[in-house]
């Protein structure tokens, strides 16, 4: 893999295919463009996304570890990109544009500082890799989409400036009650205030300019939500029944894109045109960046300044994580409404369930992480036929039917992922 890695100095526009001349709409993270009349706008939008790639010559991870992530850090970089997009939406807004050479805003510098390759940056490669060590992933080991999502969830706890609520929706199910409680922890289930939101003093990753512009009341009622949904959309290849649903996710205004790619080669997908996915590729090795004496960050290498890469949607690995950002409760309610509409789209299958509360078949009185497969089978027999849940459609009893209608599964199916030692993409991290 190292031999095939590009370096930034060798990149040139001629090495990348130009954007296609097509009348089909181009969708980039919830924005629609016309490729015939808005090509410059498309490229400006893509260039404005944060582009995190392999780096070299950074301080050793853990003091004695590697000084480059070439060949192993692509999924970690994709995790940085999807979270970076969330921070841009949080602090700068989706319509913000990066202009080369233009004096940057303080919030932008604060975001970049959070991802610099050094141990004291919130979301640096060092932090992600070392948090993974605590979860059984050695430094240099490849991550799957779920693993990096779980690690990012843990790291955001320390970011008091952004004050994000990160939810990783497991088992192909988004539970609205869980998210409301996460984003409004000071409210009880009935919606009454049970405590004043805790006071907080925003820090800005070493750059205080612009931090005071964030009004405290902005997050007093709702902590901005980053929703990550790890999914398996097929066995070895993507099930074509999910293709339209996956494409429609890029049309949602809350879209943060998708992290996935090909086996052991991760990409950050930000949109599509026709049957091709548009993505940012982290497989370029660049030198680590050091802030200037005035705390400014040389940022040219953090933006992809050539036409974006594309691949046919059928080539994507079925193991992905889909991301969404909801700044306010209204944004989340709007997302729920749109997802419900998508679930009724003819000719496609929903990729995940949206339910009001945790289905009873999720709950169990035993510690599933400590069960053996045989014990899990016994538990499923005991519970079979006893599950009861109300989804957004109707209540029912008995074996819990999959909303896609293609199979019926019981409690043992829900436990299967815990005992699948060969699928690292769905390794469950301890909380």
Positive or negative CA dihedral for 252, 249, 302, 60? positive
- Residue of 74, 78, 89, 249 marked catalytic: 74
Round to whole Å and give the CA distance between 428 and 406.
Answer: 25
Respond yes or no: is residue 74 known to be catalytic.
Answer: yes
Respond yes or no: is residue 281 known to be catalytic.
Answer: yes
- Residue of 126, 167, 267, 283 marked catalytic: 283
Round to whole Å and give the CA distance between 147 and 132.
Answer: 8
Q: Which residues pair with 6 in a beta bridge?
A: 284
- Residue of 281, 304, 326, 361 marked catalytic: 281
Round to whole Å and give the CA distance between 280 and 309.
Answer: 6
Annotate 307-329 with DSSP letters as a single string: PPEEEEGGGS-SEEEEEEEESSH
Using DSSP, state whether 407 is helix, strand or coil. coil
Round to whole Å and give the CA distance between 20 and 89.
Answer: 28
Give, in order, the Cα–Cα distances in Å from 106 to each of 112, 327, 346, 405. Answer: 10, 20, 46, 50
| Tokens 């955001």, located at residue | 156
8 Å CB contact between 250 and 268:
no
Respond yes or no: is residue 406 known to be catalytic.
Answer: no
Annotate 21-70 with DSSP letters as a single string: --SSEEEETTEEEETTT-HHHHHHHHHHS-----EESPPPGGGTS-SB-T
Q: Which residues pair with 401 in a beta bridge?
A: 408
Between strands 265-273 and 255-262, the pairing is antiparallel
Annotated catalytic sites, by residue? 74, 281, 283
């Amino acid at each position: 893999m190292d031999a095939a890695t590009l370096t930034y100095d060798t990149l040139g526009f001629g090495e990348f295919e130009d954007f296609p001349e097509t009348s089909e709409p181009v969708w980039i993270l919830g924005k629609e463009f016309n490729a015939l009349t808005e090509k410059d706008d498309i490229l400006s939008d893509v260039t404005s996304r944060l582009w995190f790639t392999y780096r070299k010559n950074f301080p050793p991870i853990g003091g004695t570890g590697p000084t480059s992530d070439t060949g192993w850090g692509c999924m970690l970089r994709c995790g940085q990109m999807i979270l970076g997009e969330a921070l841009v939406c949080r602090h700068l807004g989706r319509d913000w544009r990066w202009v080369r050479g233009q004096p940057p805003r303080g919030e932008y510098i604060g975001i970049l500082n959070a991802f610099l390759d050094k141990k004291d940056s919130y979301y640096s490669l060092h932090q992600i890799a070392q948090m993974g060590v605590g979860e059984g992933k050695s430094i240099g080991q490849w991550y799957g989409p779920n693993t990096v999502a779980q690690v990012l969830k843990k790291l955001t706890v320390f970011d008091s400036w952004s004050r994000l609520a990160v939810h990783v929706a497991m088992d192909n199910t988004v539970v609205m009650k869980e998210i409301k409680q996460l984003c409004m922890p000071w409210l009880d289930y009935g919606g009454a205030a049970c405590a004043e939101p805790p006071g907080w003093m925003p820090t800005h990753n070493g750059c205080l300019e612009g931090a005071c512009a964030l009004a405290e009341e902005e997050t007093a009622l709702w902590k901005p939500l980053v929703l990550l949904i790890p999914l398996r959309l097929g066995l070895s290849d993507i099930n074509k029944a999910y293709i339209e649903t996956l494409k429609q996710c890029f049309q949602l205004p809350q879209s943060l894109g998708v992290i996935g790619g090909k086996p052991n080669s991760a990409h950050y997908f930000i949109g599509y045109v026709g049957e091709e996915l548009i993505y940012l590729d982290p497989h370029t090795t660049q030198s680590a960046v050091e802030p200037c004496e005035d705390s400014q960050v040389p940022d040219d290498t953090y933006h992809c300044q050539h036409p974006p890469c594309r691949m046919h949607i059928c080539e994507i690995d079925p193991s992905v994580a889909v991301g969404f950002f909801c700044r306010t409760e209204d944004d989340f309610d709007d997302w729920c409404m749109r997802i419900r509409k998508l679930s009724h789209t003819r000719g496609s299958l929903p990729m995940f369930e949206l339910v009001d509360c945790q289905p009873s078949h999720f709950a169990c009185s035993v510690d599933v992480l400590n069960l053996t497969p045989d014990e899990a089978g016994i538990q499923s027999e005991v519970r079979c036929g006893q599950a009861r849940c109300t989804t957004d459609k109707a209540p029912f009893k008995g074996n819990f039917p999959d909303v896609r209608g293609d199979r019926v599964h019981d409690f043992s199916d829900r436990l299967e992922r815990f005992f699948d030692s060969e699928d690292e993409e769905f390794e469950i991290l301890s909380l």
